[in-house]
Amino acid sequence: MKRIITITVTAIILLLTGANAQTLNGFFEKYDKDNRFQSVSVGKFLFNLALLSDDLKSEDREMLANLRKIKILTSKKTPEASFAANVMRDLDRVIEKGDFESLVEVREKGERVNIYTRMDGNYVTDLLISVREAGEMNLVWLNGKFSPEMIKKISHNENNDSAVNLPINIK
């Protein structure tokens, strides 16, 4: 009897600790299958291949070494207003349930950029970028282990006028 209770409690704890990580992944999996979106997913293996290059700057090498995956969803065409509202409602739920914090919010002439982070101790484990403008929706999820110093380097680059200095540059 004690063994069954121990196994049950352990299973519940594992499910609860994995729930936050699963929600963002589940969101991307759900919309990855929707033909109104194009999707790109890059895993650790490709980052490790890139690290073999001698052409990388030390900052880029550090970023790649700490990345586990990048997932991108882009709407192919103008999504219907109701569909876009449903996607954003789902995304808002994921952000709330996943303990994300707003890092940056930019609104300008029909365009809206939100950058959210999720922390694990002193490290950012998830960086979620949402870009919405008339007729287009883009979501970028970077998963890894990033120090606060690395996030400062990512979000601020004096040599570039873009809002974010990422492998995918969003202006």
DSSP label at residue 157 = -
CB hemisphere CA count around 38 (13 angstroms): 8
161, pLDDT greater than 50: no
Give the C-alpha separation, 38 to 93, whole Å: 22
At 154 the pLDDT is 65
- Per-residue pLDDT tens over the stretch 11-48: 444 444 444 445 888 999 999 888 889 999 998 888 88
Break the chain into its structural domains and give their ranges. Answer: 19-155
Residue that wins the pLDDT comparison between 62 and 2: 62
DSSP string, 71-119: EEEEESS---HHHHHHHHHHHHHHHHHTT-EEEEEEEETTEEEEEEEEE
pLDDT band (50, 70, 90) for residue 78: low
> Greater confidence, 104 or 79?
104
Burial class (CB in 10 A: 0-12, 13-18, 19+), 103: middle
Tens of pLDDT, residues 115-152: 998 888 888 888 899 988 877 889 999 999 888 777 77
More confident residue, 103 or 154: 103
Confidence category of residue 75, pLDDT binned at 50, 70, 90: confident
Average pLDDT, the chain: 77
